[in-house]
Amino acid sequence: MTISMYKASIPVSIHSLNNLIGILEKGAKYAETKKIDPAVLINSRLYPDMFPLSKQVQIATDIVNRGLARLAGTEAPKFEDTETTFPQLIDRVQKTISHLNTFKPEQIDGSEEKAITLEVGGNTLSFQGMPYLLYFILPNLYFHVTTTYNILRHCGVEIGKRDFLGEP
């Protein structure tokens, strides 16, 4: 039995992004309940040389928006990276989910061997479609969602593994 590129990408990414929304909502509620300026959480980072929470969310959404658009041969929406509040970050994730919901299986399926070339940090990376999905898009999505989770957990937000994994 095989799994299609569509099934391995779109539903999986949407599931992770929905979980990210739940994590962000808990962060917003925590800030409100504890009377913490939400900007403190949104600008928090785990280590001085890491990106803050806001950038983690921005990268997570950019990775799937751009990556899956490349596989489908379409243009990805462009976001300005100006989000400074939980509602703005949540809205960005919701817009990403809306974008992913526009893809049809026939746009993604068959992209297993599609040549993908992109610039990352001054380096040119080249992939075939399936390795691009499995070894670049999804790991990056999970990394940045996990880092968002870890930043909020480190700040005291009561979230756990279930929040990250969500319901199947």
Q: What digits encode the pLDDT tens for the residues 124-142?
A: 999 999 999 999 999 999 9
And the tokens for 117?
């070339």
- pLDDT exceeds cutoff 90 at 120: no
- pLDDT exceeds cutoff 80 at 8: yes
What is the band of 94 on the pLDDT scale with cuts at 50, 70, 90? very high
What is the band of 168 on the pLDDT scale with cuts at 50, 70, 90? confident
**Dihedral over alpha carbons 94, 98, 99, 101 (to 10 degrees):** 130
**Residue 39 to residues 26, 29, 87, 106, 109: CA-CA distances in angstroms?**
14, 13, 12, 42, 41
H/E stretch holding 125: strand 123-128
Alpha carbons 98 and 103: distance in angstroms, whole number = 10
What is the pLDDT of the chain when averaged over all its residues? 96
Q: What's the pTM value of the predicted model, to 2 decimals?
A: 0.95
Q: Kindly report, residue by residue over 32-74, the tens digit of the pLDDT.
A: 999 999 999 999 999 999 999 999 999 999 999 999 999 999 9
User: Around Cβ 126, how many Cβ atoms within 10 Å?
Assistant: 10
